[in-house]
């Protein structure tokens, strides 16, 4: 069965269809309501779990931050806040996440705190939104220049930092190798160099 993205499901819900979703648990309330996010959009989709149909040991593994695969039927939502939800038929924990040590909780975190957990901060709404804006801006710039006939290529990075003598590997200059301008002392006049 193909995996659908949360953004595709929310954009064009096919009521009554059996779908598979994979993502991270944002919240799991009352061992029943699972908010699943896969990073494809800012929103999460609510998955309703019949806790009597699943082993208690499995449900204890469904914690904030755990990665799960869900198969279920897309149905109109009974509650407010969302138009559709998934009635879960099968639930598989793909990656456990210890609740006592996972730093992201269902609350707002400061940017200073997120700076300390760079490997996880992309899962937050703040950084997800920043990356979507960054993607859209970079894509628009690249698309514009492509339509104008320009090529995109990765140039070597030229930097002024000299770590462990690597700066002596090559020199970047606009002055000719022979016949460079000289100063009054007869030395190369680097003030005339572009760099």
pLDDT at 123: 85
Query: CA torsion, points 118, 124, 129, 131, in degrees to nearest 10?
Result: 30
- Report whether 78 contacts 115 (CB < 8 A): no
Cα separation, 129 vs 122, in Å, equals 9
pLDDT at 124: 87
Report, as ranges of residue numbers, the positions in the chain whose pLDDT lies below 70.
158-171, 195
Cα separation, 167 vs 33, in Å, equals 57
Domain boundaries, the chain: 3-101
Could you name the CATH architecture of 3-101? Beta Barrel (2.40)
User: Which tens digits make up the pLDDT trace of 143-161?
Assistant: 999 999 999 998 877 666 6
pLDDT at 159: 67
Cα separation, 94 vs 79, in Å, equals 28
pLDDT at 168: 61
User: Three-class SS of residue 180?
Assistant: coil
Give the closest residue to 26 by CA, choosing from 49, 5, 7, 43: 43
pLDDT at 190: 80
CA 2, 23, 98, 119 torsion: positive or negative? Answer: positive
pTM for the structure as a whole:
0.70
């Amino acid at each position: 069965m193909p995996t659908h993205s949360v953004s595709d499901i929310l954009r064009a819900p096919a009521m009554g269809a059996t779908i598979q979703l994979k993502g991270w648990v944002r919240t799991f309330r009352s061992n029943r309501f699972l908010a699943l996010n896969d990073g494809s959009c800012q929103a999460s989709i609510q998955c309703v779990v019949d806790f009597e149909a699943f082993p208690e040991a499995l449900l204890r593994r469904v914690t904030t931050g755990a990665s799960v695969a869900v198969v279920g039927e897309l149905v109109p939502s009974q509650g407010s806040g969302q138009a559709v939800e998934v009635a879960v038929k099968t639930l598989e924990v793909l990656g456990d996440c210890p609740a006592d040590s996972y730093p992201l909780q269902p609350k707002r975190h400061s940017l200073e705190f997120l700076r300390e957990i760079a490997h996880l901060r992309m899962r937050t709404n703040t950084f997800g939104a920043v990356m979507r804006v960054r993607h859209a801006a970079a894509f628009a710039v690249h698309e514009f220049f492509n339509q104008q006939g320009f090529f995109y290529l990765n140039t070597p990075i030229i930097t002024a930092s000299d770590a462990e003598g690597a700066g002596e590997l090559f020199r970047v200059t606009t002055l000719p190798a022979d016949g460079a301008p000289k100063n009054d002392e007869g030395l190369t006049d680097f003030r005339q160099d572009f760099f």
